[in-house]
Chain A
Amino acid sequence: MLNKKILLADDDELFASLLIFRLKKAGFQVTHVTDGKQAKEHLVDNLPDIVVFDIMMPYFSGIELIDHVRNEVKSNIPIIIVSSAGNEENVLNALEMGANDFMSKPVSPSELLVRVTRELKKM
């Protein structure tokens, strides 16, 4: 899994830094953006191997980013949603739009690492 590129889009920088630390420690190249606009730009410039989105973000929500990835970028890269808004509606919506996995906060960073690894292995 070395050098696999992960795009992490989350406006909670403290939590993001925790995940970044954990993912980097596992050998991933993590790019962190704090809003949906930056995430779209990064997807155009440099398509990652896997993306981790939050749902509630400025400019574009995680659901809109899923739609962007699937329909505009037309990429099948794994998408994992990590959100505190883990109600049934959001989960179903995200999965229907094309997300590969959904994790509700509080999240165990180790568990997220396992899920990311698993999704990458599926490719």
Chain B
Amino acid sequence: MFHKALTYSPITLIRAPKIHTDLLWDLVVLFIVLSVLYFVSVFYFRNKLSKASKKLKEKKTEFSPIVSEFLFYDETDSKTEKSNYINLKIQIRELLKDKYNRKVLTDVLLDLRKDVSGQTQINLFELYQNLELHKDAYVKLKSWKWQIVTSGILELTKMQVSESYTFLIKFINDKRPTIRKHAEIAVVTLDDRGISYFLDTTKYRISEWQQLKLLDVLRNKENFEIPKFKLWLTSKNKHVVLFALRLIKYYNQNDATKSLIPLIKHKSNQIKQEAINCIEEFYVEEAIDTLKLVFWKSSEDVKMSILSAIATIGTENDLDFLVEIEQRVRSFAVRSKAISTINEIAPETILPSDHIEKDTAFENTIPDIIEHEDAPEISISDQLQQKLEEKNVVEEVKENNTDEIIENHNDILVEVEDKKDNIDEVLTEKEIEEDLELTEVTKQEDVVESERENVTELPVEVEEESVLEENINQNEVLQNIEVVAESIAQNQKQMDINREEEEINEELKISLDFLPLVIEEQEEKGIQEPKAVVEDEVIVENRELDLSFLPLVIANTEDFVRHSVTSNPEEITSQKVDSNEPELQDSIDFMELDFLPFVENTDQNFKEEQAIQSLDNLFDFIPKPHQISDEESEKLLLLADIEEFGDAREIPLLDEYLANEKSPFLIERIEEIMEEIVKRTPFVIPKEKEELIEDSSLVRGFISEIFANQDVESQLILLKEIAIVGDEKEAAFLRTLIKETSEAVVVEKANEALTIIKDRLSIEAQNTNLNEEPPVTQEVDLSEDEKSEETDSMFDVNFELSPNTEDIDITLKTEKKKDNKSTSFGSQLSEISKRIKDILNGQ
């Protein structure tokens, strides 16, 4: 075959190798044979195992009733049963002569041992020994195979063969770990002295798992007197010491405190840690000095254990040590543990500080939080409290900065206190003080902030730390500040004023109306006086800025002195024009300042100027207060309501106010409202058309309309009344009526009435000339109106009926006069309607 194989040419890489067919058949036959052998062997061994298993099962089935009989044998059983029992004993002894049967019986007993308990289990152990099956286990112990020895130890242990203890203790220090570990369990299990012997003699390491198993054995031992494990704290085997420490802790053997303390210094971290755990568990206060001693050279785990122990047994005397740890140790875990230990010994000694934002960080977020629905509401009292805290910080700044600031602000506060007495019935005195102080705080913050950031647009909030840091060199900084950007400061001043007004109004929700004027007693100077701020001018400016009624008084004339514009009021104007606000500039452009009074500072203001000068313009950024008395503010509120909800019917009331009012801005405000009402009321007659209306159509239209809707009889009655009460207007009407009416009776009556009116008017004209009284005109000023005592007739009121005659809407013209009769529009209206009704009813 090999010869044939060699006759072929060598295998090339190009073509498939040529293999002789016979060789292939030979290989097929070979593999078939091998397969058959494999399957035959598998079948054979499987069959053999099955037979063995079957045989074992049969044997177990055979032995199980025998075992049951032995297990449940009772001396009280009947003679038959006793006889049966004796027969079984004889039978089983014959069976046990066979080694296999012994093995099967041993297996049966071992199997049953795990399923039964109680007395049956005890009977089982006794049966095992009575049948001398344990001797087979002894034989196994002599085997050189570790697995056989181990099975022997395990069998003796399971079947509780106590007498095997002496045979097993020699395996405790066996080199083979499996045998050693089973021997350790067996020794501890089979005899109460086993644990002591084991701990005394073992030279090998006791694994963690082995410790658990030994502990489990000890736990489940009945009637077991636990030895004092402190005896093994001196063992040369450190694993024994460690196991003993754990057993001491488990069994709460707290009589070993003196032995525990030296173990804190043990080289082994495990033993050290376990000893510390015991010390903590047993509250060994004597160990605390040793704990402190070993702390610095211990590992991190041991340090944590020491800190835990100190937390339990430590006192406040140990706080210094813990603080030292917190400061010196780099480990995050140890430092954290030290802090928690401090707090455990002395609760809340160290409060949370990391990642905690400063109070000032929440300063500007308060309005946002309030607006947010989900956010908890912050009461004003809380805000005030926060402000007061901030004020304290700023006060520190003040103290460290300059005494001038303090003096200056004391002056201001004194002034404020003086003014405060005259105002405020709404707020309590305490609230006023708080508000004023808060205002001062806000000013201070802005001053410092503006100073630091070189007069740029900055948030109002001031970090406490930054303030304090700035505080150190504040004097130097303030002294070295040069006024190099005065125009910027001037602009910033106005911006700060507005900003502070907004902030204070929005955050505190408290009106600043009551704040006093910085300068009240301004004496009017000549027009050439250099220091001049015109109050009315500022009012106009404020109106342009939508500050409407607030009488803003700029008292700080120092600005103008500082900016070298003191010689000419025009330069003052130009300074203001330089500001960034076009509205202001525009408002100033058209103003004539010549006629306005100049204001002079008082002594108090002079003090303030001194402080301001010393601060080098810092007070330019303090908002100027506005003074409005309570009475004025109430009027303003009333006027605002009238403006919003009022109509033509409020004009008489406004007229009355206008007549009584002396405050210029309130007068202007009233006039504005009246104009506003006139504009939005369609029935109000524009002023420029008054004469036209009076002369012609409207009054005549009213009478003629009434006249036209009546029958002839009613018209005659009406003409009779017109003749009694009419004047020039009715005369004009009558003339028109005479021309247009075809009814002869009506024309006749109209002529009569016209004649009567003319006669009366002529008599009145004569009387007027005799009294030399000036005629009452529409365009007289208030003072003249007040003197006028002219009695208006009901037809003197300019009014117009609405298209719907039933809805008699009458509007009054806006006359600037105070006449109770003329202003009681309602009474006139009712009188007219009553009169007309009477006429129509023929009365």
Binding site for A on B (CB under 8 A): 57, 60-61, 64-65, 67-69, 71-72, 108, 111-112, 114-121
A22 contacts partner chain B, Cβ-Cβ < 8 Å: yes
Chain A count of residues within 8 A CB distance of the other chain: 17
User: Are B64 and A14 touching (Cβ within 8 A)?
Assistant: yes
Query: Is there contact, CB below 8 Å, between B115 and A12?
Result: yes
The answer, yes or no, to whether A75 is at the interface (CB within 8 Å) is: no
Contacts of B116 in A (CB 8 A): 15, 18, 106-109
The dominant DSSP class at the A interface is: helix
Q: Does A3 contact B (CB under 8 A)?
A: no
- 26 A-B pairs within 8 Å (CB atoms) are namely A13-B64, A14-B60, A15-B112, A15-B116, A18-B67, A18-B68, A18-B112, A18-B115, A18-B116, A18-B120, A21-B65, A21-B68, A21-B69, A22-B72, A84-B115, A105-B114, A106-B115, A106-B117, A107-B115, A107-B116, A107-B117, A108-B119, A108-B121, A109-B72, A109-B116, A109-B120
Q: Does A72 contact B (CB under 8 A)?
A: no
B111:A14 contact, CB within 8 angstroms = yes
> Cβ of A122 < 8 Å from any Cβ of B?
no
Q: CA–CA, A107 to B120, complex, Å?
A: 9
Kindly list chain A residues whose C-beta atoms are within 8 Å of the C-beta of B120. Answer: 18, 108-110
Q: Cα distance A105–B57 when bound, in Å?
A: 22
Q: How far is the CA of A12 from the CA of B108 in the complex (A)?
A: 12
Task: Determine the distance from Cα of A13 to Cα of B57 in the docked complex, in whole angstroms.
Answer: 9
Q: Provide the bound-state CA to CA distance between A111 and B108, in Å.
A: 21
> If A13-B64, A14-B111, A21-B65 touch, does A110 touch B118 (CB 8 Å cutoff)?
yes
CB neighbours (8 Å) of B111 from chain A are 14-15
Known: A14-B60, A14-B112. A21 touches B72 (CB 8 A): yes
Q: A17 and B121: CB pair below 8 A?
A: no
Q: What is the bound-complex CA distance between A109 and B117, given in angstroms?
A: 8
Whole-angstrom CA separation of A25 from B68 in the bound complex: 11
With A17-B65, A18-B67 already in contact, 17 other A-B pairs whose C-beta atoms are closer than 8 Å:
A13-B64, A14-B64, A14-B108, A14-B111, A14-B112, A15-B112, A15-B116, A21-B69, A105-B115, A106-B115, A106-B116, A108-B116, A109-B116, A109-B120, A110-B118, A110-B119, A110-B120
Residues of A contacting B108 in the complex (Cβ-Cβ under 8 angstroms)? 14
The residue on B at minimum CB distance from A105 is B115
Q: Are A106 and B121 in contact (CB under 8 A)?
A: yes
Residues of A bordering B, CB below 8 Å: 12-15, 17-18, 21-22, 25, 84, 105-111
Asked if B117 and A108 make an inter-chain contact with CB atoms under 8 angstroms apart, the answer reads yes
Q: Inside 8 A of B64's CB, which chain A residues have their CB?
A: 13-14, 17-18
Whether the pair A111, B72 counts as a contact (CB closer than 8 A) is no
Q: Which 9 A-B pairs have the closest CB atoms?
A: A108-B118, A21-B68, A106-B117, A17-B64, A15-B115, A108-B117, A18-B68, A105-B115, A14-B64
The secondary structure that dominates the B interface is helix
A17–B72 alpha-carbon span in the complex (Å):
12
CB distance from A110 to the nearest CB of B (A): 7
A12 closest partner in B (C-beta): B115
- For chains A and B in complex, what number of residue pairs have CB atoms within 8 angstroms? 58
Select the residue from B69, B108, B116 with max chain A CB neighbours within 10 A: B116
Chain B residues whose C-beta falls within 8 Å of the C-beta of A13 in the assembled complex: 57, 60-61, 64
Q: CA–CA, A105 to B115, complex, Å?
A: 5
Give Cα A17 to B116, complex, Å.
12
Nearest A residue to B64 via CB reads: A17
Complex Cα distance, B120 from A108, in Å, reads 7
CA distance A109 to B67 in the complex (A): 14
Question: What's the least CB distance linking B744 to chain A, in Å?
Answer: 119
Q: Shortest CB–CB separation between residue B81 and chain A, in angstroms?
A: 9
Residue of A nearest to B118 (CB): A108
Nearest chain A residue, comparing its CB with the CB of B116? A106
In this complex, the member of B57, B68, B72 whose beta carbon has the largest number of chain A beta carbons within 10 angstroms is: B68
A106 with B69: CB separation less than 8 A: no
B104 to chain A, nearest CB (A): 11
B611: shortest Cβ distance to chain A, in Å?
84
A111/B115 in contact, CB under 8 A? no
Nearest CB in chain B: distance from A84 CB, A? 8
CA distance A25 to B111 in the complex (A): 22
Distance, CA A12 to CA B116, complexed state (A): 13
Expressed in whole angstroms, the minimum distance between the Cβ of B619 and any Cβ of chain A is: 81
A25: which B residues are within 8 A, CB to CB? Answer: 72
What residues on B are CB-neighbors of A84 within 8 Å?
115
Give the distance in Å from the alpha carbon of A25 to the alpha carbon of B70 in the complex.
13
B88 to chain A, nearest CB (A): 12
User: Across the interface, which residues of B come within 8 angstroms of A22, CB to CB?
Assistant: 68, 72
Q: State in angstroms the CA–CA spacing of A18 and B112 once bound together.
A: 9
Question: Does A17 contact B119, Cβ atoms closer than 8 Å?
Answer: no
CA distance A13 to B111 in the complex (A): 11
- CB of A47, distance to nearest CB on chain B (Å): 27
Question: In the bound complex, how far is the Cα of B112 from the Cα of A14, in angstroms?
Answer: 7
B114, A106: Cβ atoms closer than 8 Å: yes
Taken together as a complex, chains A and B put the C-alpha atoms of A109 and B116 apart, in Å, by 7
Report the minimum CB–CB distance from A12 to chain B (whole Å). 7
Chain B residues in 8 Å Cβ range of A108: 116-121
Collect the chain A residues with CB atoms within 8 Å of residue B119's CB: 108, 110
Q: A61: shortest Cβ distance to chain B, in Å?
A: 19
* Nearest CB in chain B: distance from A82 CB, A: 9
| A111 partner residues in chain B, CB cutoff 8 A | 118
In Å, the complex CA distance between A107 and B118 comes to: 8
Q: Within the assembled complex, what's the spacing in Å between the Cα atoms of A24 and B321?
A: 76
CB-CB under 8 A from A14, the residues of chain B are 60, 64, 108, 111-112, 115
Bound CA–CA A105/B121 (angstroms): 12
Report the Cα distance A111→B115, complex, angstroms. Answer: 13
**CA separation between A110 and B120, bound complex, in Å?**
8
Q: Considering the chains assembled together, what is the distance between the CA atoms of A12 and B64 in angstroms?
A: 12
Which residues of chain B have C-beta atoms less than 8 A from A107's C-beta? Answer: 115-117
CA distance A18 to B119 in the complex (A): 14
- Per the bound structure, the CA–CA distance linking A14 and B71 in Å amounts to 13
What is the chain B residue whose CB lies nearest that of A109? B120
Q: Hey, which chain B residues are within 8 Å of A21, CB to CB?
A: 65, 68-69, 72
A12 to B61, CA, bound (A): 11
* A106–B111 alpha-carbon span in the complex (Å): 11
A45 to chain B, nearest CB (A): 25
A14-B114 Cα distance, complex, nearest whole Å: 12
Interface centre among A18, A21, A111 (most CB of B within 10 A): A18
With CB as the reference atom, state the residue of chain B lying closest to A84. B115
Contacts of A110 in B (CB 8 A): 118-120
Chain B minimum-CB-distance residue to A108 = B118
- Nearest-Cβ distance from residue A111 to partner chain B, whole angstroms: 7
CB distance from B555 to the nearest CB of A (A): 87
The residue in chain B whose Cβ has the minimal distance to the Cβ of A21 is B68
Report B-chain residues with C-beta under 8 Å of the C-beta of A17.
61, 64-65, 68
